[in-house]
C-alpha cells in the first residue's frame, strides 16, 4: 500500500501538465465551435415571438387550480381548454408536444365538473385528501406510458408503438384526479441532453428559440416554462429532469432512488445497476406543487419521505461546491451561475443565520467516469442493441452511411454513442471495479456530510442553455447532474432568474437518502426569496419587450 501511494505521488506532477494542456485545447475548441454554432443559429434559427400569456388560469399553480375546481370557483373544462389553447399557440414555435389527447381530456373534465355539481358529491375535505389534483391537466414525456397514446422514445422504428396501459406514475396521477392532456418531446432513446429525434424534430427554448431545451425531458421542460402545462412527470437517469428544468427556468425533483416506480418508462433499465440510477419525478413552475405531486407519485412509499414534517431552516447545515474541481473535458462553471449560488448562500446567512461551509470532494472530478461505470451492465448489451428496438445489433456503418445521405432514421449523436461505446468502461474490468468502489466511497462521504440535516448546493450545469447542436462539443457537461444519480440521493433543481443573455440559470439542492423533504423545503424558500419561474419574454420585430407586471405575477 505504501509503495502504491508513493507511486501515485510521483505520477501526479507528470499528469497535471497533460491535463492542463488537454483542458486548454478543449476550451479553444469550445470557443471556436460556439462561434460557429452561433452563426448557424443566427442564420438558420430565427428568434421567434412568444404569444403573450393572456389567460390568468395559466399562471396559477396546480394546487391552486385544484382548490378552485373543488370549490367550483372555476370548472375543470375551463382549465383544460385554457391549456389546450395555449399548447396550440406555442407548439408551432417550440415544437415541444408530440401527441395530444385533447377531446378525451375535455370529456374527462366535463365528467369531473358534473360530479362536483351532483348532490352526492364528496365533501371538499374528502376530495382534498383523496383527489388532491381533481380536474387539473398534466403532461408527461414521451417515454412514460399513457394508455392509448404512442410511446416512441424518439426512435423511428417505434413511431407506431401505442401503450396498452398507463405507467404506474400516470395511474397514480389519474387516481389523484389529474387529467393527462399531452406527451412531450425527448432525445432519441432518452440518452442525450438535447431533445431532438428523427420522428418529431428538435424542441426549442421558450426564452430564446436558438437555444436547446435540454434532455431527455426537454419537451416537458419547455412546455411547462411556456405555460403550456401546469405540471408534468419527467424521468432522470443522468440529469434528464434537472437539466431541462435548469435550461427552461422551472423546478424539478430527482427523488431518492427506488421511491417512485419506474414501471411504464421506456427504455426500461435491463439490470439493477441501471434501474437504481433511474428516477421519475415532478416538474413544475411553482415550487409549492413539488411536495403534493411527489406525495402522489411516491404512492405507498410516500411515508418514507417525511413530506408532512415541518422543516426548521435555521437548523439546516449547508455545504457547497461552486464547481467539480476541474474535471477533464467539462466546461468551467459560468461566473453568473456561481454568483447565483452565492446569492442563495448569502440569503440563508442573513435571514436564517445559517453559515454555509465550502467543501472539496475530490472524487467529484471523476463524475463522468463514475456514472459511466455504474451504467455498464453484465450482458454488455449496448446502445446499438437499444437503437434496434431490442431486436438485434445495429449495423452502425450502414446507418452512418444513411445519415450522411440524409436518409437515416437515427440522430448523429446516437450513432456516435454506438461508436465510442466500444472504448468505454467494461463491466467487471479492473477499472470498472475501482470506479464502483470509488462511487461507494463518495456515497459514504455524502452520507457523513448530509445525514444529520445537511444539504449540498451544487451547480446543475456549468453553462446556461447552449445553442442547438452545441452539446456535441460539450458532451460531458451532464456530469454535474449524473453524479447525483450514482449516489441515489434526492436533488431539486431550482431556478434563480435569468442571466445577462436572458436565459435561465439556477442550482440544484441535494440531500441525504430519503431526505427529500429538506431539499423541497429549501426549494420552496428559494422560490419565495428569488421569485422562481420568470415568464418567457415577448419579442416584437426582433426586440425583446417586458412582460407586464400584473401578468408576471403567479400564484
| SS3 of 220-275 | HHHHHHCCCCCEEEEEECCCCCHHHHHHHCCEEEECCCCCCCCCCECCCCCCHHHH
Q: Is residue 415 part of a domain?
A: no
pLDDT (tens, 9 = 90+) of the chain, 555 residues, equals 334 444 444 445 555 677 677 777 777 877 787 777 777 777 776 777 678 899 999 999 999 999 999 999 999 999 999 999 999 999 999 999 999 999 999 999 999 999 999 999 999 999 999 999 999 999 999 999 999 999 999 999 999 999 999 999 999 999 999 999 999 999 999 999 999 999 999 999 999 999 999 999 999 999 999 999 999 999 999 999 999 999 999 999 999 999 999 999 999 887 777 889 999 999 999 999 999 999 999 999 999 999 999 999 999 999 999 999 999 899 999 999 999 999 999 999 999 999 999 999 999 999 999 999 999 888 767 888 899 999 987 889 999 999 999 889 999 999 999 998 878 888 889 999 999 999 999 999 999 999 989 999 999 999 999 999 999 999 999 999 999 999 999 999 999 999 999 999 999 999 999 999 999 999 999 999 999 999 997 654 455 555 444 444 445
DSSP H or E run through 317? strand 317-320
Looking at the domain assignment, is residue 244 inside a domain? yes
Domain that holds residue 505: 45-376+424-552
* Helical H segments across 45-101, by residue range: 62-70, 76-94
pLDDT computed for residue 215 by the predictor: 96
What CATH number corresponds to the domain at position 200? 3.90.1300.10
Q: Which of 509, 493, 489, 492 is nearest to 257 (CA)?
A: 489
131, 141, 365, 366: the catalytic one is: 141
Cis peptide before 216 (omega within 30 of 0): yes
Please give the tally of structural domains in the chain.
Answer: 1
163, 187, 217, 240: which one is catalytic? 240
Q: Is the dihedral of CA 163, 165, 168, 169 positive or negative?
A: positive
Task: Please choose, from the candidates 179, 183, 12, 190, the residue with its C-alpha nearest in 3D space to the C-alpha of residue 110.
Answer: 179
Say whether 125 is catalytic. no
Contact 408, 397 (CB under 8 A): no
User: What pLDDT, on a 0 to 100 scale, did the predictor assign at position 30?
Assistant: 76
Distance (Å, rounded) from C-alpha 109 to C-alpha 174? 12
Q: Is residue 385 part of a domain?
A: no
pLDDT of residue 199: 98
Q: Is residue 55 part of a domain?
A: yes
- Catalytic (active site) residue 216: yes
Q: Which residue among the candidates 61, 195, 216, 217 is catalytic per the annotation?
A: 216
In a domain? residue 387: no
Residue at 6 is within a domain? no
- B/e letters for 45-77, b = 16+ CB within 10 Å, e = fewer, are bebebbbebeeebbbbbbbbbbbbbbeeebbbb
* Residue 300 a catalytic site member: no
- Cα separation, 244 vs 25, in Å, equals 28
Instruction: Indicate the pTM of the whole model.
Output: 0.93
Q: Is residue 20 part of a domain?
A: no
| Whole-number pLDDT of residue 549 | 41
CB distance 47 to 207 below 8 Å: no
Alpha carbon distance 361, 445 (integer Å):
8
Q: What is the pLDDT of residues 380-413, one digit of tens each?
A: 678 888 999 999 878 899 999 999 998 899 999 9
DSSP H or E run through 40 = helix 2-44
Would you say residue 149 lies in a domain?
yes
Contacts of 295 (CB under 8 A, 6+ apart): 132, 302, 307
Partners of 141 in beta bridges? 184
- Residue ranges of alpha helices (H) inside 60-160 are 62-70, 76-94, 102-117, 124-130
Amino acid at each position: 500500500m505504501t509503495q502504491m501511494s508513493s507511486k501515485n505521488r510521483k505520477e501526479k506532477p507528470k499528469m497535471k501538465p497533460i491535463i492542463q494542456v488537454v483542458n486548454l485545447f478543449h476550451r479553444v475548441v469550445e470557443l471556436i465551435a460556439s462561434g460557429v454554432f452561433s452563426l448557424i443559429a443566427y442564420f438558420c434559427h430565427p428568434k421567434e415571438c412568444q404569444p403573450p400569456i393572456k389567460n390568468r388560469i395559466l399562471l396559477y399553480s396546480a394546487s391552486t387550480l385544484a382548490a378552485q375546481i373543488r370549490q367550483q370557483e372555476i370548472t375543470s373544462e375551463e382549465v383544460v381548454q385554457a391549456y389546450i389553447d395555449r399548447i396550440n399557440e406555442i407548439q408551432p414555435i417550440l415544437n415541444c408536444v408530440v401527441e395530444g389527447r385533447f377531446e378525451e381530456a375535455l370529456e374527462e373534465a366535463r365528467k369531473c365538473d358534473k360530479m362536483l355539481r351532483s348532490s352526492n358529491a364528496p365533501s371538499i375535505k374528502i376530495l382534498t385528501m383523496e383527489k388532491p389534483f381533481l380536474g387539473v391537466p398534466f403532461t408527461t414525456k414521451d417515454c412514460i406510458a399513457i394508455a392509448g397514446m404512442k410511446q416512441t422514445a424518439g426512435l423511428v422504428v417505434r413511431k407506431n408503438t401505442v401503450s396498452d396501459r398507463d405507467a404506474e406514475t400516470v395511474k397514480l396521477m389519474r387516481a389523484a384526479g389529474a387529467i393527462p392532456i399531452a406527451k412531450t418531446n425527448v432525445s432519441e432513446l432518452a440518452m442525450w441532453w438535447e431533445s431532438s429525434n428523427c420522428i418529431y424534430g428538435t424542441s426549442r427554448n421558450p426564452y430564446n428559440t436558438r437555444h436547446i431545451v435540454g434532455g431527455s425531458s426537454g419537451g416537458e421542460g419547455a412546455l411547462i416554462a411556456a405555460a403550456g402545462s401546469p405540471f408534468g412527470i419527467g424521468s432522470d437517469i443522468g440529469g434528464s429532469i434537472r437539466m431541462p428544468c435548469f435550461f427552461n427556468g422551472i423546478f424539478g425533483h430527482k427523488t431518492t432512488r427506488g421511491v417512485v416506480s419506474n414501471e411504464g418508462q421506456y427504455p426500461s433499465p435491463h439490470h439493477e445497476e441501471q434501474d437504481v440510477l433511474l428516477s421519475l419525478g415532478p416538474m413544475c413552475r411553482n415550487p409549492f406543487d413539488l411536495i403534493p405531486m411527489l406525495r402522489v407519485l411516491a404512492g405507498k412509499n410516500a411515508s418514507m419521505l417525511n413530506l408532512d414534517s415541518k422543516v426548521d431552516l435555521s437548523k439546516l447545515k449547508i455545504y457547497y461546491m461552486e464547481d467539480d474541481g476541474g474535471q477533464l473535458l467539462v466546461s468551467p462553471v459560468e461566473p453568473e451561475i456561481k454568483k447565483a449560488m452565492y446569492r442563495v448562500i448569502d440569503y440563508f446567512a442573513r435571514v436564517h443565520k445559517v453559515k454555509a461551509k465550502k467543501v472539496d470532494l475530490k472524487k467529484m472530478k471523476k463524475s463522468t467516469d463514475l456514472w459511466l461505470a455504474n451504467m455498464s451492465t453484465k450482458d454488455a448489451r449496448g446502445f446499438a442493441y437499444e437503437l434496434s428496438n431490442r431486436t438485434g445489433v445495429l449495423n452502425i456503418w450502414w446507418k452512418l452511411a444513411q445519415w450522411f445521405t440524409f436518409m437515416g432514421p437515427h440522430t448523429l449523436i446516437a450513432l456516435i454513442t454506438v461508436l465510442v461505446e466500444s472504448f468505454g468502461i467494461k463491466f467487471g474490468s479492473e477499472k470498472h471495479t475501482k470506479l464502483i468502489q470509488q462511487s461507494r466511497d463518495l456515497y459514504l462521504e455524502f452520507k457523513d456530510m448530509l445525514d444529520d440535516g445537511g444539504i449540498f448546493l451544487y451547480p446543475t450545469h456549468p453553462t446556461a442553455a447552449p445553442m442547438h447542436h452545441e452539446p456535441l462539443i460539450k458532451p460531458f457537461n451532464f456530469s454535474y447532474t449524473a453524479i447525483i444519480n450514482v449516489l441515489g440521493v434526492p436533488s431539486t433543481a431550482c431556478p434563480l432568474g435569468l442571466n445577462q443573455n436572458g436565459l435561465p440559470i439556477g442550482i440544484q439542492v441535494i440531500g441525504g437518502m430519503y431526505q427529500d423533504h429538506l431539499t423541497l423545503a429549501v426549494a420552496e424558500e428559494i422560490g419565495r426569496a428569488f421569485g422562481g419561474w420568470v415568464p418567457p419574454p415577448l419579442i416584437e420585430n426582433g426586440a425583446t419587450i417586458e412582460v407586464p407586471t400584473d401578468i408576471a405575477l403567479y400564484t
